[in-house]
Chain A
């Protein structure tokens, strides 16, 4: 690791009161679920939000071991760096990992192939996720979604009820007053829990910086083969090849979010430290999902529609 720039400690200090309040709020939520549900699961993709969520969950129960498994819905098109990170963290913490495989579900005919013209398996994650929740009998599933990410997510409760079909009904959500969370469900239903609801993208980065949390290398600037598609820089990978007219170039890039390789775009950048990434995010005029997620561009209500089906 390179030496930290002088500004890093002052960034941490000026935000520490608000970060500590967010941290305690998240730990409180995680403890409520741990105490009230027989069997929760924590969605962990190796992305920065789920990394912070897992870090908070470990703090919530320490010095005991995490009493529930982490869950990854593997599209088969993941960044190898994220998978490597996932496996290492799970081993270090000595916790259980449940993997729901989109590839296996496709091979067995459980789900039909993607109809997405770009081959994205984004939407295919939903039926696999719901299968895992049913098989594992999870009553509660932690997700790392934040309200500042997207406007349908801005509507989400901390405890978000899902019916027997895994569906979200945004017009009929349970009132959520004070910090009294209603987790009562009948068999077959579950609650999605979002401990990071009130965190912003920058809060997550500041927390990673102040807590010195390790993140997958793809979040920092590195050289990579990319090509331009619909105004986004996509990484060349076995899952995504350029069309003949799309020119491949080697660029210094980083990823602002980490999802499926077919739908996560790279950001041209030379920021190779967490502090440099924060400085870039603070000055950018483009949103996190707008800059790096092809899947959200499908329509005005792409996220709402996916969430209604049971997406993350």
Chain B
């Protein structure tokens, strides 16, 4: 069975949690006892309908305030697919949690309130989805019941978004008019909107091509851990444990070892189920090589041809995530990139991207919470990388505050394609 990872995005009160509750409910992923608990709370709150958001909003504060604060992960499946759904918050102040949910997604599900149309937060989420390299966007135009199932209104919102997505260079696969509350066009087509015939939301989620595999199929294995049992039986054993982040590897193959710039030959591959001749993305493996080189955590084993780049200074796009501090030129931080941890200095803060207009502000002095900008980063150790647009794993990093240990930024090496709208 295939696994599709979905992240929801939308503004507050667009009805995200209700839609997810509806998907879970109609695909029978909600068990009876969980449903009856939600029903009794719904009655206590004197809701006219079963409040489907109660099925997903897991924290006390979320249920009290009726908003989603942090990502909740949901699991459901149909006969065709297994789905992991990251339900992300709509409030601007929780955008960083949306980034958390979206960073691993194959599909972004953008939800728009038909009454309000495209608002700044919808655009912000679409930009972040594009920036994070999510290649499929499905738009649900929700609350159609509250605008009399008006086709013209639906078409107007669709036209506006299409223009925006074109500028982002992302493809929106589908626009679906729905009522999450009543279930119209979610699992089955509804006769309330006979003018819409493109299939219900769930059908699209079942049929979308899965893009989880990396764009580049060159072999990449960041070394996590060196296994040296030091027992009689395995006296000379030296295995490099790590996950294959793209491509595949074979016994006998020539591999490069970076940043040292050496080459060797693979002598054995251990998969979770024992020795194999070949392994591919996304397997966690242990590989052994012919030569006795000094290789440790943070190094990268790769195909001998098509090697990644090695540098101690690079340009990147970052999303700032700290409430307490702002990012300024000269900032000293810690960087985590693949399995490498080093110190990092922000040697240049070049511009801030306005996510609602896609314009670039070159005169900015700092980045505040949820702001996105372009920086140059210098590191205390060599970084072995590919551009984020080519490889989401070897092209991504986080920055960590050395004092508070909080994760203050998510970064993507290289520049996003839409960055040239100035």
A residues apposed to B, CB below 8 Å: 14-15, 17-18, 20-21, 23-25, 27-28, 31-32, 34-35, 59-65, 147-148, 150-155, 170-171, 173-182, 184-186, 197-198, 200, 284-287, 290-291, 300-301, 304-305
Contacts and interface: CB of A to CB of B under 8 A. Distances in A.
For A63, A177, A182, which residue has the most chain B Cβ atoms within 10 angstroms? A177
B343 interface: no
Contacts of B336: 180-182
Nearest to B82: A18
Interface of B: 1-3, 31-34, 37, 41, 55-61, 63, 69-75, 82, 84, 96-97, 99-100, 103-104, 224-225, 227-231, 233-234, 237, 241-243, 270, 272, 282-284, 286, 297, 321, 334, 336-337, 339, 392-393, 396-398, 400, 405-407, 410
A197 B100 CA distance: 15
A230 B86 CA distance: 34
A170 B70 contact: yes
Interface of A, secondary structure class, is: loop
Given A14-B1, A64-B228, A186-B405, A287 B73 contact: no
Nearest to A182: B407
B75 A147 contact: yes
24 contacts: A17-B2, A20-B272, A21-B3, A31-B284, A35-B339, A64-B230, A65-B231, A154-B56, A155-B58, A170-B59, A171-B61, A175-B100, A177-B99, A177-B103, A177-B398, A178-B392, A178-B398, A180-B337, A182-B400, A198-B73, A290-B31, A290-B34, A300-B41, A304-B59
Contacts of B225: 31, 34-35, 61
Contact of A290 (B33, B58, B59, B228): B33
A45 B104 CA distance: 31
B282 A171 contact: no
B100 A63 contact: no
Contacts of B2: 17-18
A137 B32 CA distance: 42
B104 A178 contact: yes
Contacts of B243: 24, 27-28
B104 A179 contact: yes
B32 A62 contact: no
B411 to A, nearest CB: 9
**The 7 nearest A-B residue pairs measured at CB:** A151-B58, A290-B33, A27-B284, A287-B31, A24-B284, A184-B405, A64-B229
Given A155-B58, A300-B41, A174 B407 contact: yes
A178 B409 CA distance: 12
A24 B398 contact: no
B224 A32 contact: yes
A175 B334 CA distance: 15
A287 B400 contact: no
A291 B33 contact: yes
B121 to A, nearest CB: 18
A231 to B, nearest CB: 10
Contacts of B237: 63
B227 A61 contact: yes
Contacts of B72: 147, 151, 154-155
Contacts of A185: 405
Contacts of A182: 336, 398, 400, 405-407
A14 B59 CA distance: 35
A82 B305 CA distance: 52
A128 to B, nearest CB: 25
Nearest to A201: B75
Given A18-B3, A155-B70, A178-B392, A62 B37 contact: no
B236 to A, nearest CB: 12
A17 B283 CA distance: 11
Contacts of A62: 227, 270, 286
B393 A178 contact: yes
A35 B224 contact: yes
A49 to B, nearest CB: 15
A13 B237 CA distance: 33
A110 to B, nearest CB: 29
A25 B282 contact: yes
A59 B72 CA distance: 29
A35 B297 contact: yes
Nearest to B58: A151
Given A15-B1, A304-B58, A21 B70 contact: no
For A23, A61, A180, which residue has the most chain B Cβ atoms within 10 angstroms? A180
B58 A28 contact: no
B410 A175 contact: yes
Nearest to B56: A151
A79 B63 CA distance: 36
A155 B71 contact: yes
A184 B334 contact: yes
A60 B284 contact: yes
A27 B286 CA distance: 11
Nearest to B87: A154
Contact of B70 (A59, A64, A171): A171
Nearest to B41: A300
A178 B396 contact: yes
A148 B97 CA distance: 19
Nearest to A211: B273
B224 A31 contact: yes
B227 A184 contact: no
B366 to A, nearest CB: 19
B282 A65 contact: no
Nearest to A34: B225
Contacts of B60: 300-301, 304-305
A96 to B, nearest CB: 17
B100 A176 contact: yes
A154 B400 contact: no
Nearest to A199: B75
Contacts of B270: 62
Contact of A59 (B59, B73, B272): B272
Contacts of B393: 178-179
For B32, B60, B242, B282, which residue has the most chain A Cβ atoms within 10 angstroms? B60
Contact of A286 (B31, B282, B406, B407): B31
Contacts of B41: 300
Contacts of A180: 336-337, 396-398
Given A18-B82, A28-B224, A197-B73, 4 more contacts: A20-B272, A27-B243, A171-B61, A177-B407
A148 B398 CA distance: 27
B3 A175 contact: no
A301 to B, nearest CB: 5
Contacts of B57: 151
